[in-house]
Amino acid sequence: MKHFFFFLATLVFFSFSANCQLDKKHWLVGGSGNLYFYNDDFTTIGQPTVSGKLTEINLSGNVGYFLIDKFAVGLRPGIKSLKSRGLNTASAGHKEVALYIGPFARYYFLNSERSFNILLDGAYQIGMISNFGGKGPLKNATIMAGPEIFFNTSVGMEIMVGYMHQSMSITEEPPGFNHKKSGVYMSIGFQLHLTKE
C-alpha cells in the first residue's frame, strides 16, 4: 500500500506543469478497472437464501466526444467476471460472465489550464449475463465523481468513487432468479484526450 501512495504522489508531482484538452471537438478514449471482494446473500426463487464470498473484476472502456467545452458524451462497453464460493448446493462455487454497453456523459468542473480536474460521470449500460448455466439480461447504472490528474495535454489518470446499481435475471434455467445489488463503486483508469487533425 505504501508503494501505491508513493507512486500516486510521484505522478501528482510530475503533473503540475501539465494541462489537458477539454475543448469542444476533442475525443476522449480510455478505460478503467476495479476489483471487488465482498460477501453476498443470494435467493433463488422458491429456495432458501444462501451466503457466499465473491471476487468480482470489472473492466470498461470508453469512446467519447466533447460536444461543448468540458462536456463529453459517448459509449462505454464493459466486461464483468465473477467467481464465488458457497453460493450453490455443492459449495464448489460458480462463475459468472457479463458483457454490456451503453451511453455515458461526463462534465469537468475546472478549466483546462490546470494540472488536474474534478469531474462528474454517469452511465447506463445493458447487456447479457451468463450464470448457473443460464443466460439473461443485465442492467448497470453508475454515477461517479473524482479527480483526473494530467501527465500532459493528452493523458490523464482518474480515480473515481460513486454509486452503482445493478440488476440481472436468469430465466432460461429453472427455477431462475432475480438479483439486484447496489453500493459504493470505485474505479481507477486512464484517459486519452485527442484532437482530430
**Is the Cβ–Cβ distance between 168 and 128 less than 8 Å?**
no
Give the mean pLDDT of 160-189. Answer: 80
Q: Using the 8-state DSSP alphabet, how is residue 197 labeled?
A: -
Digit-coded pLDDT (tens) for 67-98: 999 999 999 999 988 776 655 544 455 678 89
- Domain count for the chain, please give it: 1
pLDDT reported for residue 90: 43
Q: What is the CATH number of the domain that holds 164?
A: 2.40.160.20
Q: Name the pLDDT band for 12 (thresholds 50, 70, 90).
A: very low
Helix (H) or strand (E) holding 106: strand 94-108
Q: Which structural domain, as residue segments, surrounds residue 166?
A: 2-195
Digit-coded pLDDT (tens) for 13-22: 444 445 578 9
Q: Closest by alpha carbon to 175, among 54, 83, 95, 89?
A: 89
Higher per-residue pLDDT: 126 or 136: 126
Asked whether the whole model's pTM tops 0.85, one would answer no
pLDDT reported for residue 34: 83
